[in-house]
Amino acid sequence: MKQVLIDRYGTPWDVARCADVPDVGAPAADEVVFEVLAFPINPADMWFCRGSYRLKPPLPATPGAECVGRVTAVGAAVTHVKKGDLVINLQRENWAEKRRVKGDDAIPLPAGIDLRQAAMVRINPPTALLMLQDFVDLKPGDWVIQNVANSAVGRLLIVLAKQRGLRTVNVVRRPELGDELKGLGADLVLTDGSDLAQRVAKATSEAPIRLGVEAVGGSATERIVECVATEGTVVHYGSMSGEDPAVGRSHFIYRGVKLTGFMLGRGLAKRSPEKIREIYADLGRQVLAGTLNAPVDTVYPIEKIKEALAHADRGGRNGKILVAPNGPV
């Protein structure tokens, strides 16, 4: 079988290669084997290849935070999935033609789901969902503010917030994104800038914003902090700038604003396997119905992983770069 390996850390398309490796073999009683149908290239995967991600396993190593697959064999003790089911995998190392994983890590998706969209269900939809649920007890009519609103997580958060009757302030770098995001349900779309807090206050009639969601870091974090109400919460879940959040202490001391972080693995670890499957079942149904979706730019075969990685790093894409290890999807 084929599997992507990195033998050293560095520029992703230089260090990643498509290798022939031994087959994964038959599942143990508590395991599942599936063919990987598609996987996306996410920013965290690029950081992994560069050696700047939080996980640095012994080399050679295989990247890949998410994928979708079709079950080919099931151990005797596994009852929640069967041969032929579509699944996502809660574990990493998914850039391969096949995977053998513990049964609890294989999460079923509904039959008929679009495979390209299914490949992206594992991380971004539950990230948006849990950030809305886990930090502030929001009620219909409440406001939420987020930056990088045009990202996959940002777009999903707009849709999920709208379903809950929440109103969103969406901060972007390019004003031409406004109509597109409003088509998803965004209430306000504003360009980032030093006077962001003043413009947000005016646009919302100074409504108290109790939750901010932030993925840029550096001074952009403080601009979101300035927008939330006294004793509000800002959730930092990424750093597109590569910088740590830079926030003046007066926001914490005098206003009681809370700055916290989100990592999906930690959010899911608080929940039982049954609850995790319930979350993904709901998200899967919404993807199947077309309610939740993310744009895809290009799908590559696994043999062209270097080209796929280089494409994923370029600006001007119209969506995610996917790889299909077992034929076109």
Positions marked catalytic: 53
Contact 267, 292 (CB under 8 A): no
Any idea which residue has 């109400």 for tokens?
229
Is the Cα dihedral 41, 43, 44, 48 positive or negative?
Answer: positive
In the chain, how long is the greatest CA-to-CA distance? Answer: 62
Nearest to 221 by CA among 237, 207, 205: 237
Dist. CA 39–CA 127, nearest whole Å? 17
Q: What is the DSSP string of 99-116?
A: EEEEGGGEEEE-TT--HH
Distances (CA, A) of 294 to 40, 42, 166, 186, 270: 11, 13, 21, 16, 27
The verdict on whether omega for the bond into residue 110 sits within 30 degrees of 0, i.e. cis, is: no
The two structure tokens encoding residue 214: 């932030």
Region class of 193: left (phi > 0), else alpha (psi between -120 and 50), else beta: left
Phi and psi torsions of 190, nearest 5°: -130, 145
